[in-house]
Structure 1
Amino acid sequence: MTHMIRLIQITLMCLMVMSGTQTHAQVMLPGTNASESAVTLPDPLTTEAANALISRLSDSEVRSLLLDQLNTQATEEAEAASAGESEFVYHATTGAWSSVTTPIERLPLLYTGQATAFSNFFDRIGGGLGLVKLLGYMIVVFGIAAAAELVFRRLTRGWRILPPTDADNMTLRETLQLLSQRLTTQVIAVVIFVLVARTVGRTILPDNLVPVVQLVGMYLIGFPRLFLAWAFFVFAPLNPEYRLLNVTSKEAKALCFHNFWIAVLLGFSAAILIFNADNGVPMGETRLGFWLSLSLHVYLVWVIWKYRDAMVSMMRGYDPNVTPMENRVARLYPWFAIVLVVLMWWVVNIVVSYENFALLATNPQYKTMTLLLFAPLLDTAIRGIVRHATPAMKGEGAVAERAYHSTKRTYVRIGRVVVFGLVLLAIADFWGMTPQAIATAGVGARLAAAVIEFLIILSFGYLLYEAVSLFINSKLAAEMTASGFDPETQEVGGDGGGAGGSRLSTVLPLILLVCRSAIVVIFLLLALGNIGIDTTPLLAGAGIVGLAIGFGAQKLVSDVVSGVFFLIDDAFRTGEYVEVDGTMGTVEKISIRSMQLRHHKGPVHTIPYGEIPKITNYSRDWVIMKLRFTVPFDSDPNQIKKIFKKIGQELLEVPEFQEDFLAPFKSQGVLEIDDVGMVIRGKFMCKPGTQFMIRKEIYNRVSAAFAEAGIDFARREVRVALPTMEQGQELTEEDKAAIAAAATQAAQEQIADPGKESR
């Protein structure tokens, strides 16, 4: 009882402290009125005061008090969450729209406010004479800075000029090295210009002119030139052999031009807003930032629409092996870019409706757009790195070649997922979505963070999915290459009996299917749980389905279990020719519950494992082929034996067959004598799947050798003894009828037993 009272004390104190706003509580004692039973919690609530209160209450009264506090706290949290959600919806719709209409309403203030800023500036620099002095100072300052930059450019002229080269013989590393070298020198030149202008300005300029000169030098001269240097690095308008993106020279020059003017607009926006703030006109007063942002976004949409074909070409890249999905993504990319620009503009309006101008101080919207609009460059870099970093093809043949190309595509997909995750993390950092900021942010920030975490979890899941697929597929390709088995190049309509794949190549596709399914289910549940979706009903539903399968699909369970034991026993492999209860065919595909056999005439038989009584495998390890030849009674068996031996030795020297023989073709002597002639048998041992071509060649060579030796194959004859023939008389009608009857009887016997001569 003591422990229970202590636990209630601690719980009561914690609840009172967490509620914060509730310092009084009332409990109804049995048989009393509310006024008589009102209990006032002491303030402050110390341990002694809690002990005194609990000593006056029964256990049921304490439980009732705790339940009241829990209900009150839950109600307050629900109301706060509901208020947060409704607040976010308001700012995302009505609030953002008011951020658009307010600048329109304040449009007259824009002119008066800007006039005020210029008037205050003129008064501060001393009017028209001060403006003339400012222009003179700028000429001096920027002239000295330009001279310093010119000296640096003369010293590094060899680094800035790209040497002519053959694009087909240049590696990606060499291209990036030379482009980075030029970019570095251009960036250093601009930095020298800005630093020299800043230093000289602070030295010779009056204090009231220093901020203006710095704004002009940094934002209107330095920033656009840095942006232009980056554009030259990406598009190489004058050096197509160094161009990283797949565009024409005309498009590259135009895109560099527009990149420069976009940077000018960005720099002017930053400079004018700082200028106005320094001269007594805050940014929120005239909403000049809205009009500058709108102008920039409209300009971007126009550029994207005008050069949409170039953007599609950039997204496709230089790789000729573009998949249909990559082609569709490339065609959709300009539309994605336009939607992105419009969406970023609307997000800015949402942030403005929150009056969170500090978040926009670092221009996260422009950083986000720049990162996403240069997605073609990132994709080109990924494909280039994969093309130059993928190991050489292992082995030879169609299987190895397909595995090599599949590996390259997998590396590209893995690279894209990694870059996608890094881009998401960078965007989250741009918008200040750190764990500390999210903990104190509103519903909108938490929702955005949940979406980003959802995408990151899916990215990790897909990365693991591709990594497992790459590992298993590489093992599968190695096994198939080593065994020489390729299911895609198997002869269609052949006789069957060919060698199949290895045991590992048969099991690996099933392992791949299981691993992929497990990864998809696990990471999908993790991602859904991360965004607040309760996955317990899904797991319960899966359990119910499993229970239903266990009770209602016993045959399915039997098939699966039987298939497991067949695979453990290595009874068959993919590509082997087997017989299952009278059904023959090549094992074309296996699944968890059944196998598919393709007959050499085309039909496909699907056989559940649970219905297989036994399996006869005709393709395991080796094959013995026995051939029968019927020759006349007067033939010499020894002569035929020598002929067979000679043919066997000759075939061992034929390049097409010499690797397939395990034992040469030779004679087994006279097998039997029937009513036609002597049956002589020959045999050979070879690898599975090669016996039919060898048999055909042996038939051709035996036929030619017999013809050369004067040996005829025996034929069935019908002899009819007629007394009239012995007396030299001509055939009568009765004799002819007897001959026809005997021939008919012999033919019927042949039809009734067609395999007699071949056994």
Structure 2
Amino acid sequence: MTTRKSRFWTYAFLSLFLTFSMAHAQAEQNDKGILSASSLQKIVDDASAKGLDVIIVSSSGSSANSAAMKAKSEGAQAVVGHFRDRVAVLGHFLPEIIPNLLLTFKKVNDNIGGSGLLWTLFIVILSMSIAAVVEHKYLNWVIHKLSSVWASLPSERSINMCFLLVRYAGRTVGIGIFCLVAFILSSVILGDSKYEQATIFQWIIAVAWAWLITEIWRIWTSPKMPSRRIPALNDDDAAMLFWWLRASTIIGICVIESTNWLEKLDFHDNLIVLFRILATAIILILTLTLLAKARKPISSLIMKPEDKVSSSLLQRLVAYNWQYAVGLYAFVAAIFSMYRLVMDLPNAMGLIGAMYWVLMISLTAFGIGTVMIDRILERRRTLSDLVQEPQIETVLTKSGEHEEIDQPDDQPVKAVIVRDLSYVGLARQALMLAIFGGAGIFMLSSWGVDFTSADSVLGRLWGVFFVIVSGYVCYQIAKIAFGRKMIEEGGEISSEPGEEGGHGGTSRLATLLPLLRYCILATIVVLTTMIALSELGLNIGPLFAGAGVIGMAIGFGAQTLIRDIFSGAFFLMDDAFRKGEYVDVGGVKGTVEKISIRSLQLRHHMGPLNTVPFGEIKTLSNFSRDWVMMKLKLRLTYDTDVEKVRKLIKNLGKELQQHPEFGDQFLQPLKSQGVYAMEDSAMIIRVKYMTRPGDQFVIRKHVYSRIRELFEEQGVHFANRLVTVRLAEDENSKALTDTQKKQVLGAALPEVETAAGS
């Protein structure tokens, strides 16, 4: 098993080298003037576009395709041969490492003079130590000032992030003081030879970089400030992560800067290459060790153990496998870095370092962006005063106990709606997308990928990504803006199920906003799609032409649909109805609940939801505009004094206008209209009053109740329905006894009850 594994990794290692070797062979052959297949095809296409006939053959008379394939094969062989030669040269140089080191050190010492390189290193270390003492004094003063200012502030994310960034800024100033003091002391004591200056500059900058990066890790782990810690880490995990991150940073920067220092001391190029290969191996080992140590804490941040069941599949995959992906990248990056070092290619040491740079820059950008969002956008939210988070209020009762006050059940739903309509969430999403896109560009650029060429595949993909992200942000901005405006215009009109309609609706703008919102969002989606297709190199002109033809076909084949759309547009232009108003469209009536481009939905007060196309509406009656007159019929007996009833109704109208609950709802008081009709058993008197739409039904209950009480007090009687049944006056009816007459009348009773019920 061990032998098989060794063979597998050996073959994998060689495959990676050969693959990359062929890629570089292509580049080298292009530099030498040998045309690749793609370059050759481009020339042929250009000539064909100009109307020229092109025939290409190789020197041996073979086809152009064979020549290109031969060029590729020769290029790959040349790169493999060059790689073998470089490995052989480095292998032969291994025994000469120690003699070359001693010879170069002797040359450097002779150039410096005095006590030589060791004395220079000692002075640099001493200068940095003195500078560190000065920086420590400054840092204690800064921390004391910050602690006195920030100690009383609450532990909130934005405040904690702001505190940590201010502290980092203070430490950055301290590191600047450290560099300044160390440079001055070293330059005063030492000479101005290039080796001395290289030693001073290289090691002071190395310490400064290690210090700055360590402070970034300190911000995000906060091992000694758990109350200000941003990630949800416990104290042990935070301390462990900070220790390993700091150790990896210090060791990694030391080995990298050591090779740079040796290069500036004019050591042999082969020696520099070998030392940098060793440094790459050390950094790879440090990275893999760090991943093993950070696996559990980072996985718990991505997905908490208690959320294992409720988490998504993607979240579980990332939580369980992120370390393998990062470790694989680090391994591949180390292999290619070593290859580039051997082949003397540019950017050889930046592949693994790019991963750390992306992490640091992303964390810093996220921190600064979070502070700006929380401190600027949070203060400008205009909906925070309209709907707030649900809170449980208590009052102190006479017995001294606290009693909870019931809160509306819809408060949590409204709070969620406000959060969805906030620009804060969108700003955070845009920040994450910007960080993700910038990180991807930085990582791919470190591998030599060119994004500036519009003809390259990656350049086009980057353009598509930018267009989609921009379209998404514009879509969300429009959605939030329309949603906030709709809430400002009154939102939804709510009514209790079963109530009769007639209440006033929303404003005209609130009625039109959903349709405008739909049109704007659809336009953004279509434009984003078209621009993205254009970025991919597709010609979108025929798409517009095809859309015109399809539109004409739809216009001829869907005339009813077109009629509905245009009818609805004219209804809205005439302001015939609004959302929340009670309308009757001829056989169907109800409250306008939803308006689309071709129909409206009416909710009947008994529950049914009716959808009515605009083209089917011939007449429309709106019961929710301006005012409404309610007329009530009263059945009174014929001996009732009509003038007395008029005065009673007039006084009752004045009384109801003074009612504390609904008196202000009257637009005109209750009045008597006199005798309206005369029936067989009753005299019909009608009364009327005017209110706003929807209020008449609430007032009607009180009016009926007070009229009954008032008439009972004043002796005014309501008439009952009377039915007179007569027997024909003939010989047969005269011969009937009283009992038989009662039986005849009883037989007619069901018919009378049926007529009364109808």
TM-score of the superposed pair, with normalisation by structure 1: 0.71
Partner secondary structure for residue 67 of structure 1: coil
Matched, 1:475 2:466: no
Structure-2 residue corresponding to 1:358: 347
Closer/same/farther in 2, CA of residues 139 and 646 from structure 1, 3 Å limit: same
Structure-2 residue corresponding to 1:367: 357
After superposition, give the CA deviation of every residue in 1:53-107 in whole Å (9 maximum; x if it has no partner): xxxxxxxxxx99952268989xxxxx99x999x99xx99xxx99x99x9999999
**Unpaired runs of at least 5, structure 1:** 1-19, 23-62, 74-78, 315-324, 724-729, 753-759
**Take 2:201 and 2:607, find their aligned partners in 1: how far apart are those partners?**
81
**1:193 aligns with one of 167, 178, 185:** 178
**Take 1:605 and 1:198, find their aligned partners in 2: how far apart are those partners?**
83
**Take 1:212 and 1:459, find their aligned partners in 2: how far apart are those partners?**
47
After superposition, give the CA deviation of every residue in 1:598-635 in whole Å (9 maximum; x if it has no partner): 22222222222222222222222222111122233333
**1:744 aligns with one of 741, 745, 750:** 750
Q: What's the C-alpha RMSD, in Å, of the aligned pairs? A: 5.1
Shift of 1:224: 3.2
Structure-2 residue corresponding to 1:257: 243
After superposition, give the CA deviation of every residue in 1:421-443 in whole Å (9 maximum; x if it has no partner): 4764576478669x9965679x8
Say if 1:344 and 1:369, in contact at 8 Å, map to a contact too. no
Say if 1:476 and 1:505, in contact at 8 Å, map to a contact too. yes
Say if 1:461 and 1:523, in contact at 8 Å, map to a contact too. yes
Shift of 1:694: 1.8
Closer/same/farther in 2, CA of residues 492 and 448 from structure 1, 3 Å limit: same
Closer/same/farther in 2, CA of residues 565 and 474 from structure 1, 3 Å limit: same
Closer/same/farther in 2, CA of residues 166 and 439 from structure 1, 3 Å limit: closer
Closer/same/farther in 2, CA of residues 743 and 107 from structure 1, 3 Å limit: farther
Matched, 1:551 2:562: no
Partner secondary structure for residue 679 of structure 1: strand
**1:620 aligns with one of 596, 621, 625:** 625
**2:51 aligns with one of 59, 62, 67:** 67
Residue identity matched to 2:380: A
Aligned residues: 652
Say if 1:371 and 1:423, in contact at 8 Å, map to a contact too. no
Matched, 1:389 2:375: no
**Take 2:90 and 2:651, find their aligned partners in 1: how far apart are those partners?**
106
Equivalent runs, 1:17-416 vs 2, <5 Å: 67-68=51-52, 137=123, 140-161=126-147, 163=149, 165-168=151-154, 172=158, 178-204=163-189, 211=198, 215-219=202-206, 221-245=207-231, 247-248=233-234, 251-275=237-261, 277=263, 278=265, 279-280=267-268, 281-283=271-273, 287-299=277-289, 301-302=291-292, 305-308=295-298, 311-312=301-302, 334=319, 341=326, 345=330, 346=332, 356-358=345-347, 363-372=353-362, 377=367, 380-381=370-371, 384-385=374-375, 386-391=377-382, 393=384, 405=418, 409-414=422-427, 416=429
Closer/same/farther in 2, CA of residues 652 and 283 from structure 1, 3 Å limit: farther
**Take 2:146 and 2:565, find their aligned partners in 1: how far apart are those partners?**
68
**1:629 aligns with one of 624, 628, 634:** 634
Closer/same/farther in 2, CA of residues 629 and 513 from structure 1, 3 Å limit: same
After superposition, give the CA deviation of every residue in 1:107-152 in whole Å (9 maximum; x if it has no partner): 999997987887677767889x989867754653333222322343
Residue identity matched to 1:471: A
Say if 1:300 and 1:341, in contact at 8 Å, map to a contact too. no
Say if 1:578 and 1:586, in contact at 8 Å, map to a contact too. yes
Closer/same/farther in 2, CA of residues 160 and 218 from structure 1, 3 Å limit: farther
Shift of 1:549: 0.9
Matched, 1:420 2:433: yes
Shift of 1:677: 2.1
Structure-1 residue corresponding to 2:38: none
**Take 1:331 and 1:647, find their aligned partners in 2: how far apart are those partners?**
73
Shift of 1:292: 4.0
**Take 1:70 and 1:622, find their aligned partners in 2: how far apart are those partners?**
86
**1:695 aligns with one of 695, 700, 707:** 700
Structure-1 residue corresponding to 2:472: 462
**Take 1:130 and 1:561, find their aligned partners in 2: how far apart are those partners?**
93
Q: Which moved more, 1:421-430 or 1:532-541?
A: 421-430
Partner secondary structure for residue 575 of structure 2: coil
Partner secondary structure for residue 169 of structure 2: helix
Shift of 1:695: 1.6
Closer/same/farther in 2, CA of residues 547 and 273 from structure 1, 3 Å limit: farther
Structure-2 residue corresponding to 1:317: none
Partner secondary structure for residue 586 of structure 1: strand
Q: Which moved more, 1:286-295 or 1:605-614?
A: 286-295
Partner secondary structure for residue 52 of structure 2: helix
**Take 2:587 and 2:552, find their aligned partners in 1: how far apart are those partners?**
36
Structure-2 residue corresponding to 1:686: 691
Equivalent runs, 1:592-603 vs 2, <5 Å: 592-603=597-608
Partner secondary structure for residue 519 of structure 1: helix
**Take 2:49 and 2:596, find their aligned partners in 1: how far apart are those partners?**
62
Matched, 1:588 2:593: yes
**Take 1:261 and 1:102, find their aligned partners in 2: how far apart are those partners?**
37
**Unpaired runs of at least 5, structure 2:** 1-32, 36-46, 58-63, 305-309, 389-409, 729-735
Partner secondary structure for residue 684 of structure 1: strand
Shift of 1:410: 3.3
Shift of 1:591: 0.9
Partner secondary structure for residue 665 of structure 1: strand
Shift of 1:573: 1.5
Shift of 1:732: 5.0
**2:460 aligns with one of 450, 461, 469:** 450
**Take 1:269 and 1:107, find their aligned partners in 2: how far apart are those partners?**
20
Residue identity matched to 2:356: Y
Closer/same/farther in 2, CA of residues 715 and 331 from structure 1, 3 Å limit: farther
**Take 2:88 and 2:694, find their aligned partners in 1: how far apart are those partners?**
85
Identity between Structure 1 and Structure 2 (%): 27
Structure-2 residue corresponding to 1:36: none
Shift of 1:504: 1.7
Closer/same/farther in 2, CA of residues 256 and 645 from structure 1, 3 Å limit: farther
After superposition, give the CA deviation of every residue in 1:376-397 in whole Å (9 maximum; x if it has no partner): 6467436523323324646689
Say if 1:631 and 1:677, in contact at 8 Å, map to a contact too. yes
Report which structure shows greater RCO (CA 8 Å, sep ≥6).
1
Partner secondary structure for residue 224 of structure 1: helix
Structure-2 residue corresponding to 1:58: none
